[in-house]
């Protein structure tokens, strides 16, 4: 039995965005919901992820009406909710990425696990020692 599934430590129900939506809309959504990552979905399929860092960098060169698809990271790291936190965190370190999109068995987005979530998990787990 997996004592530490990623679902225990992820941020649940992340806000998503469509690849055709503008960078301005993405920026507004991030500010409104106080998030730094937006999974990108098209027809309920995960097609990418947009980070606040990538968004801010791109806005120095692109019009804010440019579509999210021009900036998003295609083929983001996704894993199922039951995956152990040690495996997810290990993969994030190995691939040098800041977040993982968490899905259910039907490949629907149910959460996101970020570096901040990893730090919160460390605090939780260490406090139990």
| Residues 65-83: tens digit of each pLDDT | 999 999 999 989 999 999 9
The mean pLDDT of the chain is 93
Provide the whole-model pTM: 0.90
For 6-127, CATH number? 3.10.580.10
Strand order in the sheet with 37-42: 37-42, 45-51, 73-74
| Dist CA 50 CA 128 (whole Å) | 34
Q: Does residue 47 register a pLDDT over 70?
A: yes
Identify the residue whose tokens are 């990418």: 48
Strand order in the sheet with 109-114: 11-12, 109-114, 99-103, 78-80
pLDDT category at 14 given cuts 50, 70, 90 is: confident
- Which residue stretches of the chain are H helix? 23-33, 52-58, 85-95, 115-127
Mean of the pLDDT values across residues 73-98?
95
Mean of the pLDDT values across residues 49-78?
95
């Amino acid at each position: 039995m997996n004592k530490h599934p990623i679902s225990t430590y992820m941020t649940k129900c992340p806000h998503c965005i469509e690849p055709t939506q503008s960078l301005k809309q993405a920026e507004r959504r991030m500010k409104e919901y106080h998030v730094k990552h937006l999974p990108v979905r098209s027809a309920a399929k995960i097609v990418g992820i947009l980070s606040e860092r990538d968004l801010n960098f791109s806005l120095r060169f692109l019009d804010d009406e440019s579509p999210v698809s021009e900036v998003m990271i295609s083929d983001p790291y996704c894993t199922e909710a039951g995956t152990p936190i040690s495996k997810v965190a290990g993969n994030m370190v190995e691939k040098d990425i800041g977040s993982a999109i968490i899905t259910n068995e039907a490949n629907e987005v149910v959460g996101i696990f970020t570096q901040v979530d990893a730090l919160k998990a460390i605090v939780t787990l260490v406090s139990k020692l």
